[in-house]
């Protein structure tokens, strides 16, 4: 077999396979997928798991080529690190596909239903979106991750990874597509977008009607560019500039535990806390302890003048610090005069992801929850709980900071829509017809 | 009082009031609105109803001026008709605002909730979207309709009507804003976008972050342009090229009743049927009756060759007919060889709005429902039931043909989003922290 093209093993006799062709093939596959059963899709996931386990030698060989090419092109160690995939990670992906096969089916449920007074039966059923386009950077594991999440939810996956990982991605797609040939899921349900530089991404973003939704996964630059430029609707996972506000009525032991957990448990993720606000009434009781503990965990604090007065290790915060998502052991910190000032600050600098208040006052908690326009508000709990797994949503797609369709941690239902099914027995609509316009 | 500006009665001492200023004012109002109670919003709706009743003389005077100006500009009778508003319509709008005040509150409910094994309480609560931008053509009644729907659901309304109706719209907005001054709802919750031609619309579409959603109401040209060009997310209400498919297992009496209802009950609306497909096995039993009945109702049928063989009044269908939304007493019609051919035809020409099958076969109904990617499927019922009121959704915003956020008939919940509220008692996330990236 010749070196397969990036779209995943087609041989079209040299004819150029365009982004549109890939989308058309995915659309046709989505139509077939819509009538598969959950059992059939789960069988396909298990076939993919086995295929991945059987193809690790191919995938790792392709990955070594990608890494060599990137090294030759002088890419940074971070890029090289992101690009590499290990045998262990491959096994993890196979395991994930099998675990997903055992999860409940996100499609086919009845979202709502009733029988109307005239006897018309009304059901709103959960159905796949259709064709899901994924645009992602670096890590080739997203290729498998995205494909199996789409298949589980009955969607065809149109994959657009980064050029630097194209050999690895092609090997992964080839393994998945080969395994689908013996299942009820059409092979074209996993489809790569031909690699044609940024033009391919732009074309993908223009295919409204053929592609139902785009899910960019990667840095905020990629996500914002997709949101701005795409005619296809986008599911946006966003930046997390999360705050912990320590209220005047806070239990300070709980506040310290929550702050340390929120900042240091996993600093590189979007639900990690980036900013601390402390009510002035408890500043002198809380900040000396908190700043010492933070320093002990290696956290650099960028503080306003009042915060700095409590600890020598605090560096001065600049205007930029309040809006930053550090994703590292850094934290901005300020003293505020009231809960309302904390809310004002968060409204100004927050990213609408997750905000926490530590307080024993019911009234304060109620005001904080009502006043903030954000995906998640945590009361006396770490911002780290803004996570699909922690909230019982099963496999998480990401955390949405948009307001339409899905907000906050998203489970697989974010890749579904609904269809009204009306069942009557010759029902016609009564009442006088309106006059002609 | 001097002639108020179009944004609804501000006097800013001559300083230019921009689209962005209007959006900022609406955003500030939305922040205040988010903490109002349902009772307070309902009181505001009743105040608006009274104000509209008290201001009819002003509104009708403004409307006469708009009509005179449009006539002078040589606008068509259709435009003049759309522009005019009657005393009776004004009373109807006031009545509608009062009825809305009596409806259940679309915000503040718990969309889902649970207590996690670690005791963390999780609630997903329904909250307003924030700032809703409305772009609409012609009819000035939309000014009131849109404003009260937004207020009921806790959103600030940013209104952009057509220039030809600007005096009428300004009088309506002035009446509503004046009445809000004595309520808990901020006056700026009803806000007009300054009239600056198409540039104003373009600016409105660019205000992602300030405006949460745009709802275009009007012809499909307006809607498609908004969808394509807007960086702000759009709620799209779409074209309805609805089909009735008469299956080989149909009860032909029911089929005829459904067809006549779907086509003639109210031909000008999007859930009216535009196309008939008949299985060849019942064509000779059904079509002669059906075509005679349609002719008796004044319907012009554009048929394929086989349909034309059954009735002299059928005119030949052109390729364009299959995709047309006539919105009048016209109908395209074809004979198909199988249910699958009907599905193929609908996939090709349908608009994803509402499709009906008439059949007594469970198997046929099941296949038809599963195979079509559409907002509504009706089995043995008229396409006219694709309507929020008929499905028990209360006041309807429109019928969405998009898949994200809302699909099919939309109630007020389409103007809401959700917020996760997590309540703990010092909860921190356990488990080993991941290594630093």
Question: Looking at residue A221, what is its pLDDT?
Answer: 85
Question: Looking at residue B431, what is its pLDDT?
Answer: 59
Determine, for residues B386 and A420 on separate chains, whether the beta-carbon distance falls below 8 Å: yes
Across the strands, what pairs with B354? B376
Helix axes B252-264, B280-296, angle to 10 degrees: 40
Torsion angle of C-alpha atoms A265, A269, A275, A278, degrees rounded to 10: -40
Structure tokens at B222: 């307006």
Residue with the two structure tokens 């038809």: B368
Instruction: Give the Cα-Cα-Cα angle B155, B156, B157 (nearest 5 degrees).
Output: 110
Comparing alpha-carbon positions, the chain A residue that sits nearest to B251 is: A426
Distance (Å, whole) CA A183 – CA A164: 31
Determine, for residues A265 and B436 on separate chains, whether the beta-carbon distance falls below 8 Å: no
Asked if the model's pLDDT at residue A139 lies above 90, the reply is no
DSSP A163: G
Element housing A40 (H / E): helix A38-54
Determine, for residues B433 and A403 on separate chains, whether the beta-carbon distance falls below 8 Å: no
φ, ψ at A397 (rounded to 5°): -85, -20
Q: Do the domains at B19-229 and B242-385 have one common CATH topology?
A: no
Average pLDDT over residues A151-179: 95
The model's pTM is 0.89
Long-range contacts of A199-202 (CB under 8 A, 24+ apart): A200/A19, A200/A160, A201/A135, A201/A160, A202/A229
Tell which CATH architecture fits domain A242-385: 3-Layer(aba) Sandwich (3.40)
Distance (Å, whole) CA A12 – CA B277: 37
Determine, for residues B391 and A420 on separate chains, whether the beta-carbon distance falls below 8 Å: yes
For residue B31, the chain A residues in CB contact (below 8 A) are: 347, 371, 373
Beta strands in B299-401 (DSSP E): 300-303, 315-316, 330-336, 354-358, 376-381, 398-400
Structure tokens at A47: 């076939």
Work out whether the CA dihedral B34, B39, B43, B45 comes out positive or negative. positive
8 Å CB contact between A273 and A245: no
Average pLDDT over residues A293-299: 97
Q: How close A55 gets to chain B, by Cα (Å)? A: 27
Determine, for residues A429 and B268 on separate chains, whether the beta-carbon distance falls below 8 Å: no
8 Å CB contact between B232 and B214: yes
Probe site for chain A from B273, B369, B381 (most A CB atoms < 10 A)? B381
Distance (Å, whole) CA B432 – CA B437: 15
Q: How close A410 gets to chain B, by Cα (Å)? A: 11
φ, ψ at B57 (rounded to 5°): -65, -45
Distance (Å, whole) CA A35 – CA A286: 59
| Of residues B347, B408, B422, nearest to A376 (C-beta) | B422
Question: Looking at residue A197, what is its pLDDT?
Answer: 65
Question: Looking at residue B197, what is its pLDDT?
Answer: 65
8 Å CB contact between B239 and B401: yes
Distance (Å, whole) CA A382 – CA A264: 11
For residue B244, give the 3-state DSSP assignment: strand
For residue A43, give the 3-state DSSP assignment: helix
- As for the ipTM of the complex, it is 0.89
Determine, for residues B257 and A428 on separate chains, whether the beta-carbon distance falls below 8 Å: yes
Domain A19-229 has CATH 3.40.605.10: yes
Comparing alpha-carbon positions, the chain B residue that sits nearest to A432 is: B265
Distance (Å, whole) CA A305 – CA A287: 13
Question: Looking at residue A418, what is its pLDDT?
Answer: 96
For residue B262, give the 3-state DSSP assignment: helix
Q: What is the pLDDT of residues A335-363, one digit of tens each?
A: 999 999 999 999 999 999 999 999 999 99
DSSP A379: E
Residue with the two structure tokens 């342009």: B225
Q: How close A134 gets to chain B, by Cα (Å)? A: 16
Reported confidence tier of residue A161, pLDDT bands at 50, 70, 90: very high
8 Å CB contact between B170 and B81: no
Determine, for residues B429 and A369 on separate chains, whether the beta-carbon distance falls below 8 Å: no
The number of beta carbons lying within 10 Å of the beta carbon of residue B381 is: 31
Q: How close B4 gets to chain A, by Cα (Å)? A: 32
Q: How close B303 gets to chain A, by Cα (Å)? A: 23
Probe site for chain B from A215, A249, A347, A426 (most B CB atoms < 10 A)? A426
Determine, for residues B382 and A427 on separate chains, whether the beta-carbon distance falls below 8 Å: yes
8 Å CB contact between B190 and B173: yes
For residue A29, the chain B residues in CB contact (below 8 A) are: none
What ranges do the domains of chain A cover? 19-229, 242-385
Reported confidence tier of residue A158, pLDDT bands at 50, 70, 90: very high
Which of these, B251, B437, B236, B281, lies nearest to B357 by C-alpha position? B251
Structure tokens at B154: 């806790």
Determine, for residues A422 and B377 on separate chains, whether the beta-carbon distance falls below 8 Å: yes
| Of residues B34, B370, B403, nearest to A212 (C-beta) | B403
| Of residues B265, B329, B370, nearest to A34 (C-beta) | B370
Determine, for residues A433 and B265 on separate chains, whether the beta-carbon distance falls below 8 Å: yes
Structure tokens at A179: 């395994």
Asked if the model's pLDDT at residue A15 lies above 90, the reply is no
Distance (Å, whole) CA A193 – CA A197: 11
Q: What is the pLDDT of residues A206-224, one digit of tens each?
A: 999 899 999 998 887 888 8
Average pLDDT over residues A199-209: 90
Helix axes B38-54, B56-72, angle to 10 degrees: 70
**Exposure string over A46-71, b if 16+ CB within 10 A, otherwise e:** bbbbebbbebbeebbebbeebbeebe
Determine, for residues B380 and A428 on separate chains, whether the beta-carbon distance falls below 8 Å: no
Q: How close B56 gets to chain A, by Cα (Å)? A: 25
Reported confidence tier of residue A117, pLDDT bands at 50, 70, 90: very high
| Of residues B268, B384, B386, nearest to A436 (C-beta) | B268
Structure tokens at B11: 């006097």
pLDDT beneath 50, residues of chain B: 1-13, 432, 434-437
Contacts of B264 (CB under 8 A, 6+ apart): A433, B297, B299, B329
Asked if the model's pLDDT at residue A247 lies above 70, the reply is yes
Reported confidence tier of residue A5, pLDDT bands at 50, 70, 90: very low
Probe site for chain A from B122, B429, B434 (most A CB atoms < 10 A)? B429
Determine, for residues B420 and A386 on separate chains, whether the beta-carbon distance falls below 8 Å: yes
């Amino acid at each position: 077999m010749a070196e397969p093209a990036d779209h995943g093993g087609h041989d079209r006799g040299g004819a150029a396979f365009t982004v549109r062709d890939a989308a058309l093939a995915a659309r046709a596959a989505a139509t077939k997928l819509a009538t598969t059963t959950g059992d059939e899709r789960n069988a396909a996931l298990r076939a993919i798991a086995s295929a991945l386990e059987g193809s690790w030698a191919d995938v790792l060989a392709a990955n070594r080529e990608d890494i060599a090419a990137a090294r030759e092109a002088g890419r940074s160690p971070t890029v090289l690190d992101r690009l590499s995939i290990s045998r262990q990670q491959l096994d993890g992906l196979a395991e994930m596909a099998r675990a997903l096969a055992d999860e409940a089916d996100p499609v086919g449920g009845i979202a709502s239903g009733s029988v109307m007074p005239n006897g018309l039966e009304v059901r709103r059923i959960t159905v796949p979106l259709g064709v899901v386009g994924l645009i992602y950077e670096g890590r080739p594991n997203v290729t498998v991750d995205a494909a199996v999440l789409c298949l589980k939810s009955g969607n065809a996956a149109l994959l657009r990874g980064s050029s630097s990982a194209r050999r690895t991605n092609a090997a992964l797609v080839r393994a998945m597509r080969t395994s689908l040939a013996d299942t009820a899921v059409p092979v074209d349900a996993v489809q790569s977008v031909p690699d044609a530089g940024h033009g391919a991404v732009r074309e993908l973003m223009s295919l409204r009607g053929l592609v139902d939704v785009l899910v960019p996964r990667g840095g905020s630059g990629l996500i914002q560019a997709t949101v701005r430029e795409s005619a296809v609707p986008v599911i946006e996972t966003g930046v997390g500039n999360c705050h912990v506000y320590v209220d005047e009525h806070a239990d300070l032991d709980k506040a310290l535990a929550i702050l340390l957990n929120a900042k240091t448990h996993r600093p590189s993720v979007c639900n990690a806390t980036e900013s601390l606000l402390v009510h002035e009434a408890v500043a002198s009781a809380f900040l000396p302890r908190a700043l010492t503990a933070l320093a002990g965990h290696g956290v650099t604090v960028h503080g306003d003048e009042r915060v700095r007065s409590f600890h020598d290790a605090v560096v001065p915060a600049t205007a930029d610090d309040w809006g930053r998502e550090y994703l590292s052991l850094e934290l901005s910190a300020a003293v505020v005069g009231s809960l309302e000032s904390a809310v004002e600050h968060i409204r100004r600098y927050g990213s609408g992801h997750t905000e926490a208040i530590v307080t024993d006052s019911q009234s304060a908690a109620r005001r904080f929850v009502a006043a903030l326009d954000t995906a998640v508000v945590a009361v006396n709990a770490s911002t780290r709980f803004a996570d699909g797994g922690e909230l019982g949503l099963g496999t998480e797609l990401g955390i949405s900071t948009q307001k339409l369709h899905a907000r906050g941690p998203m489970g697989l239902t974010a890749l579904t829509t609904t269809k009204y099914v009306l069942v009557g027995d010759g029902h016609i609509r009564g009442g006088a017809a309106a006059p002609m316009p």
